Structure 1
């Protein structure tokens, strides 16, 4: 009888932020940035607004990697840009640094948690469990998947606790099949205060031009501050693509939000065609302190990503096949990953006072005369980065705030 492993990523990230160049291992910065860009290049073709967590994907692939062999292992290591044993040691160092962030009291909240839910009586190798505890601080929990309702409640409660109560009922009993034996769950929660506040009284409705050229009214926040900013131009020969890059600081400066805004005569697609891991690193390194007048939409975005489809596009296919070698997990030769889901939420507002998945963004405005204007009244990209490790926690695009604001009003009316 075939045994299948349900592989599920449950993520919450609520944000506003700041970006800076990070003096960490170039190897790990390269690895996480490459994965972020690879995932983005697949996702941006599917929806107007997109968001994904490269960090969450990397952690789950890393947890599977501990039990993978042969082709399955090689595909995962290639996706993570890990080639040798030294790279694996760097990956372990990255994990230690990230988990130390979660255990320290700081000016932000960053919860990073992993868990393995095992079917009672299903034999998993002790070394696999030990390695997940050591490297990923994964909790090991026994459940009975023959009682899907109880399992759904157990997992949903765990995620709710790890995300400060912001995500509830994350899975339903329909998620589990009769052959489910193992579920890997990953929860990431981020809540940070802006270093400088967008004053609520300065927020008012303004025009936003969508990708199709139509114009809508949306709440636009305003702020004048001194921060990292750059006018960029990239392309071939005379066909240069012009855009702006801006960072917004969180208190403590350990996390950063970088925004990339095409010029008014440039489409978001033209910028996306240029994106490489090296270009993203250049954005982080090349922007300089400037006085900037900032206009930024207030928005909240929630999205579910089918990681199985995305990973297939990145040539990670073997773990989803019935004959894959996951013998490092169990002696069973009939185990594979049957499902991979990532659920992500981001919220950007003035002060984070809203209850659901709030991103507390408390700041004090610095008024200054500036010739630099960053008016995000058209589609733009955003990246949340953990500066000490170089890890990109999430990456996305806001192309149509109307979709998210309509969904938000609908949810608030329930």
Structure 2
């Protein structure tokens, strides 16, 4: 377990990738309750701008993480973006301007981003929250607000989180019982990620000076539209970027129609899940190494990738893999352009009547497991705020490092993004 010391001392924000839509279950498989916030009705006209913003932030954060880490990487920038968007609702002055820039917020700011994310979330929930994970992908999300007992929250901040992000308040005793509060929040997150993120907040993440925590979770279970045949899986060579070769369990798919495209120095296949609305895009370099592809991964490239597939019959071979990656994002987010939020100059006066709050760190953890049947994935993010102190078609054999993007085809929203350097490694190198 990675220490969560630098999670946000006053506002841990746990997020897994999406906010809760109206009637979202309070637990996996649960029913909506009478205490669920009333959501602002979706506005379809805001989807395109919101999806563009998500792609921009996704590309920036992934490129930063990929350039500073060796080995396998997985993250859900959509989760981090939602956590930061909720935090942004309480920001002002330079803090707000920097966060808007990092989040690629559409104009007018910040209302357009809140409205767009609310609409995307409700659209995804309408299509996936009742899926069984086999015939139809199951995607469950939830949000909550955990203020310190007696903390004065600004009405506008509280209303924005309720109406646009579905986050209901759950007061906890950070001052008197910080460990009990930490365990309660971790249990809430674990319940909503099928225990795949069992301890988002580490033993020293919550302290008596914690003021506020916002949580958002996402859990995905999705079967392939064209399942691989387990008995055909066999050890095959996989060449790492350093030229070394390792034998990995390589799944062999049937010759089926799926998205395919070729670009400058890469080619990609879009492997559909059951129902065909969700898919995993897999990008394989055709010259150079994977780092060359990743260096050019920006919002425009990601948008073109997710909208540029054309269907053809593909013979697919894909390794099995499992990856879990916890990450602390303070340095990455500061480097992307929002350092003020982490400093004594932070302005979160629109969040609370308590003066002088700042972000201590942003913690993110993602899990993904890919096998012959499909994909299970979960993610959580925490923003902690404290007071300062084939024939006739291409063959696609994935036998060297690759990037993958799980995305919603109808909105073009990327949900999970990662790379595989070695399918046999389950965690960071």
- TM-score normalised by the shorter chain: which range applies? 0.7 to 0.9
Cα gap change, 1:98 to 1:25, in 2 (>3 Å)? closer
1:312 corresponds to 2:337: no
Match of 1:245 among 265, 268, 285: 268
Aligned-residue offset at 1:387: 2.6
Match of 1:384, SS?
strand
Deviations 1:285-327 (A, max 9, x none): 3321111111111001100121212111111111111231111
Deviations 1:211-269 (A, max 9, x none): 1111111111111211111232x2xxxxxxx2211001111222221010012x42112
Q: Does structure 2 conserve the Cα–Cα contact (< 8 Å) formed by 1:386 and 1:392?
A: yes
Match of 1:227 among 230, 233, 258: 258
Partner residue of 1:322?
A: 344
Partner residue of 1:302?
A: 324
Match of 1:403, SS?
coil
TM-score by length of 2: 0.81
Task: Output aligned runs, 1:79-228, within 5 Å.
Answer: 79-85=102-108, 88-89=111-112, 91-102=114-125, 104-106=129-131, 107-145=136-174, 146-223=176-253, 224-228=255-259
RMSD between aligned residues: 2.6
Q: Structure 2 unaligned runs (5+)? A: 1-7, 19-44, 379-389
Match of 1:173, SS?
coil
Deviations 1:118-169 (A, max 9, x none): 1111211222112101010012111112323211221121112212343323
Q: Does structure 2 conserve the Cα–Cα contact (< 8 Å) formed by 1:12 and 1:346?
A: no
Aligned-residue offset at 1:100: 4.4
Give, in whole Å, the separation in 2 of the partners of 1:180 and 1:101.
33
Greater Cα shift, 110-119 or 86-95: 86-95
Match of 1:198, SS?
coil
Partner residue of 1:32?
A: 54
Match of 1:62 among 72, 85, 90: 85
Match of 1:304, SS?
strand
Give, in whole Å, the separation in 1 of the partners of 2:65 and 2:12.
20
Cα gap change, 1:282 to 1:406, in 2 (>3 Å)? closer
Q: Does structure 1 conserve the Cα–Cα contact (< 8 Å) formed by 2:50 and 2:116?
A: no
Q: Does structure 1 conserve the Cα–Cα contact (< 8 Å) formed by 2:284 and 2:398?
A: yes
Greater Cα shift, 389-398 or 61-70: 389-398
Q: Does structure 1 conserve the Cα–Cα contact (< 8 Å) formed by 2:46 and 2:116?
A: no
Aligned-residue offset at 1:352: 5.1
Partner residue of 1:18?
A: none
Match of 2:357, SS?
coil
Give, in whole Å, the separation in 1 of the partners of 2:46 and 2:89.
25
Give, in whole Å, the separation in 1 of the partners of 2:191 and 2:209.
27
Aligned length: 377
Give, in whole Å, the separation in 2 of the partners of 1:128 and 1:179.
20
TM-score by length of 1: 0.84
Q: Structure 1 unaligned runs (5+)? A: 14-22, 235-241, 359-367, 408-414
